[in-house]
Structure 1
Amino acid sequence: MRLLSLALLFLLFTSCGKSPFSGNLKELVGGSDNITSELQFNTEALTISRQWEKGPLLYDSSTITIKFKDSADNLKDPIGEFSAYIWMPDMGHGSYPITVTKIATGVYELTDIYFTMGGLWDFHLQLKDNGNLYDTVSWPLTL
């Protein structure tokens, strides 16, 4: 019995791999963001465009620029509070909070986007008024 306990304890300590965030990765894994449909916040009639500046990457910080345009094709800020998050629907969890920084009228940089494991992710953009969600849009990503 004691030998079995020691063997199980040995397996426990030797079977775990290194964390992907330990900095010892040989290469980063890039993902695909292949959505072709137009994204829009319908309540404010804002068309949403996006440009990955870095990523999407697995095991490293990704950065995306989001632009909002009105029906006249002018850059415009949303009226509500703009936020974003990522969610892995197959696993039932998200990741760290995304930092949203306004760069110019209608232009926002989203940083600190960490895809913590490979698979299907949903990228969500939201508009809120006093904490109450009133519009949302999302698209799938595969890493």
Structure 2
Amino acid sequence: MKLLSLTLLFLLFTSCGDSPFSGGLKELVSGVDNISNEIRFDTEALTILRQWNKGPIVYDSSTLTITFKDSANNLKDPAGEFSAYIWMPDMGHGSYPITVTRIATGVYQLTDIYFTMGGLWDFHLQLKDNGNLYDSISWPLTL
């Protein structure tokens, strides 16, 4: 059991490259979020606007503002529970939970977005009702 624990601990620290939290990395890496098509939550007919306040960057916290507008271009909150996460499909892992804070009607601040390494990431936004997913949108980011 001790050998298994040590092996798993070793794999955890060596499997995906240098950790940005080990103190050995010095240079921040900026990413590209160049999706040009409109993104929407179709079930609620909400257009999603994105504004990076900081980032996307590797090795530091990024911050993103998400704004929801209805078909009349009015700010509107989604009816469901709004959440977000990032996933690195080539590596099969995500990152820390993203903090979502409602700033005003239809405006949400996403903080604690940690891209832990360079490469292809998928940014996911979701709507849930009592924990059940009913709408989702994602777009790729390259860092």
Q: TM-score, structure 2 length as denominator?
A: 0.86
Distance (whole Å) between structure 1 residues aligned to residue 24 and residue 79 of structure 2: 43
The 3 A distance-change label for structure 1 pair 24 and 92 is: closer
Which residue of structure 2 aligns with residue 128 of structure 1?
128
Report the 3-state secondary structure (helix = DSSP H, G, I; strand = E; otherwise coil) of the residue aligned with 2:43: helix
Identity of aligned residues (%): 82
Which residue of structure 2 aligns with residue 58 of structure 1?
58
Structure 1 runs of 4+ aligned residues shifted over 3 Å read: 16-19, 22-25
Task: Note the residue ranges of structure 2 that are not aligned, 5 or more in a row.
Answer: 1-9
Q: CA deviation at 1:24?
A: 4.7
- Superposed CA offset, 1:46-85 (max 9, x none): 0000000000010110000000000000000000000000
**Cα RMSD for the two superposed structures:** 1.6
The 3 A distance-change label for structure 1 pair 126 and 18 is: closer
One-letter amino acid of the structure 1 residue matched with residue 88 of structure 2? M
Which residue of structure 2 aligns with residue 84 of structure 1?
84
Which residue of structure 2 aligns with residue 102 of structure 1?
102
- What pairs with 1:28-39 in structure 2 (closer than 5 Å)? 28-39=28-39
CA contact (8 A) 2:19 2:116 kept: no
Larger radius of gyration: 1
Task: Note the residue ranges of structure 1 that are not aligned, 5 or more in a row.
Answer: 1-11
One-letter amino acid of the structure 2 residue matched with residue 107 of structure 1? V
1:139 paired with 2:139, answer yes
CA contact (8 A) 2:19 2:117 kept: no
